Amino acid sequence: MPHQTVDLLLTHARQLCTIPPHDGGPQRGHALGDLGIIEDGALAARDGLIIAVGPTNDLLDRYTADVVINAAGKLVTPGLVDPHTHMVWAGDRAEEFEQRIAGATYQEIMAEGGGIARTMRATRAASLEELVTTAKKRLDTALSHGTTTMEIKTGYGLETAAEIKLLNAIALLDTEHPIRVVPTFLGAHALPPEYADDADGYIDLVINEMLPAVTAWKADHWPGDLFCDVFCEEGAFSAAQTRRVLEAARQAGLKLKIHVDEFKALGGTTLGVEMGATSLDHLDATPDEEIALLGASDTVAVALPTTPFALGLHDYTPAQKLLDAGAILALATDCNPGTAWTENMQFVLALATRYLKLTQGQALVAATLNAAHAVALGARIGSLQPGHTADVVIWGTGDYHELGYHFGVNLVEKTIIGGRVVYDTAKR
Ligand code: NIG
Ligand code: FE
């Protein structure tokens, strides 16, 4: 058979984890962790897409390439997908971290006008350029740690113009940085001081002024999916307020997510399942009945173990109960300046193996294929199979069992997005 020419041929991976979809979808419940390993595996890509995976000898018989990467002895996986971040902000909250070390709680600091409101003040005052410049550094860090797709939320503007500025920053990051970005409008993240005693009035503003502006922005700037999220929590927004925002967002053609049960369960999980949300995130305090509902649905459960870790709390997402219930479990960083400042999905794997009791293989699928489903991109990314985008990580280890186990250091050797090497330890 004559050789076909491709753009990229990756050969001789010790373990090539294809992470196969199950019935064309995510890996549900205890079926989580199917890695589809090909030993001495190879991958061919053309025009940014994977066109074949298989044993190296087979692919060498069929393809020649402009770029050949010999991955002998290495682990190769899909690029990591981080489906929940608040990556664009100005200022920091190091002082609040110090207060928390001394015993203040996240909610106490929020009630005193700190927390999200503090970051809001700094973010409103920052220019678009400043926001993009600082966020780019964070995306560089994420990329070097293996993240190839990242969801990013607004939510530090809390007024129409500043929320649109954040959407503009997010769109610029998508075009100016190799990481593929998925935007989420989180206007209902916290009450801005102007509405301190009028949560319903603020929800009116979100629905009547912000959402139309966001919809117009999408028409001009964003052909892909746009999500709407709400922080459903005591001190933030009730389930009834969350419902109002999400009904209007759904009407406007946005897909839905909710921050639920981070500290207290307010019924957000039931609401999200009923409304067909793409994902429900946090789930640290979710009651058993709602775990059962979520497990029986197609809504992805996104665990964010960095948050309890970083707040020094002990209630992690009950991942085993979610798996028992058949849920689609995914992992994310929640990267934000208040509760969890890390850009590093490998650290999330370290926490998920220890506190969620996921095996290394389960954590890897939760951070790739299932995470892709949490941003409605499961048909294009998160798995190494023909037709999927060639987003790949080559690791400086040959065994997936090292992921999460060996922590606090960066195990990535190369990150590839759309068939192009965009991070390479050999070139530093
Ligand atoms: O997911 N819970 C709400 N939002 C973030 C925290 C944001 C912040 O404190 O700045 C979270 O934990
Ligand atoms: Fe969050």
Cα(410) to ligand 2 centroid in Å equals 24
Give the three-class secondary structure for 263.
coil
Give the architecture (CATH level 2) of 80-373.
Alpha-Beta Barrel (3.20)
Query: Residues lining ligand 2 (ion), CB within 5 A?
Result: 334
Q: Where in the chain is the domain with CATH 2.30.40.10?
A: 4-79+382-427
pLDDT of residue 111: 86
Index of the ligand 1 atom closest to the CA of residue 116: 10
Cα(339) to ligand 1 centroid in Å equals 6
Q: Ligand 1 pocket test: pick from 99, 189, 283 the residue with the most ligand atoms within 8 Å of its Cβ.
A: 189
Does the 4-79+382-427 domain belong in CATH 3.40.50.150? no
Helix H or strand E segment including 390: none
CB-based contact 311:318 (threshold 8 Å):
no
Q: Which residues line ligand 1 (CB under 6 A)?
A: 86, 115-116, 119, 231, 259, 262, 307, 334, 336-339
Q: Record the pTM.
A: 0.98
Token pair recorded at residue 135: 């966020």
> Any residues with CB less than 8 A from the CB of 105 and at least 6 apart, and which?
none
Rg (alpha carbons) of the chain, rounded to whole number: 21
Index of the ligand 1 atom closest to the CA of residue 115: 9
Cα(233) to ligand 2 centroid in Å equals 12
Nearest CA to ligand 1 atom 8: 338
Cα(335) to ligand 2 centroid in Å equals 7
Instruction: Please state, in angstroms and rounded to a whole number, the distance separating the CA atoms of residues 161 and 184.
Output: 16
Q: Where in the chain is the domain with CATH 3.20.20.140?
A: 80-373
The phi and psi torsions of 342 (rounded to 5 degrees) equal: -145, 140
Cα(406) to ligand 2 centroid in Å equals 26
Index of the ligand 1 atom closest to the CA of residue 281: 1
pLDDT of residue 427: 85
Cα(340) to ligand 1 centroid in Å equals 8
Nearest CA to ligand 1 atom 3: 231
pLDDT of residue 2: 64
pLDDT tens for the chain, 428 residues: list them.
Answer: 568 999 999 999 999 999 999 999 999 999 999 999 999 999 999 999 999 999 999 999 999 998 999 999 999 999 999 999 999 999 999 999 999 999 999 989 988 889 999 999 999 999 999 999 999 999 999 999 999 999 999 999 999 999 999 999 999 999 999 999 999 999 999 999 999 999 999 999 999 999 999 999 999 999 999 999 999 999 899 999 999 999 999 999 999 999 999 999 999 999 999 999 999 999 999 999 999 999 999 999 999 999 999 999 999 999 999 999 999 999 999 999 999 999 999 999 999 999 999 999 999 999 999 999 999 999 999 999 999 999 999 999 999 999 999 999 999 999 999 999 999 998 87
